[in-house]
Structure 1
């Protein structure tokens, strides 16, 4: 899986990295049990600080998305992604609300917003990144 980061983005690099790994899992480019590069190797490959990679990995570990083993290294959770429980749904709603509110303020209608959501979902399922 090729990870492309936007160093000019307002989104912190560690969040971009976390999001790209999750998207890789969603698009089936990464599967349960697949290894990820070590912190040092990924930082070198991407030309970013090791602490940035470590922060992304720690967030993924906290969310149950990856496991970090001393012998095996970093792997995608062999049991798969955690289920979308009530706390995740609450978080999803909290994150969507401001985006939807701003979209409405900017004159976007429900059908247009849903069309973008559907398009993005299709891109992810096809393994593409059109951002």
Structure 2
């Protein structure tokens, strides 16, 4: 018992023996139906995305503003690359975000990944769309 984690115990010979409760802990709530769990998560994600879309008047799947039925929602304004963003909305406190924000107006396919000083190979692992998969 030298700081080992888990339910196993060490006997004098150095081999690990498992306690009788080991299997019970793993299957406390029965077997998992992975397909059912996946459908549940996808349904919940869809509901959350719809709620956010209504709240912000923005279609996050398409990446475009949604028209507000009574014009009481947010009004989304796209800035061109040469316009100055007001200081209150600037990413001055978030240096990483500021350095990686797309202000060029280029399409996703035209964007290049930031170069890495530790490697000569450029690698970009950005996710631009929330997916359920």
For the superposition of Structure 1 and Structure 2, which TM-score range results when normalised by the shorter chain?
under 0.3
Q: Relative CO higher for 1 or 2, CA cutoff 8 Å, sep ≥ 6? A: 1
Q: How high is the TM-score relative to the length of structure 2? A: 0.25
- The structure having more radius of gyration, on CA atoms, is 2
TM-score relative to the length of structure 1: 0.25
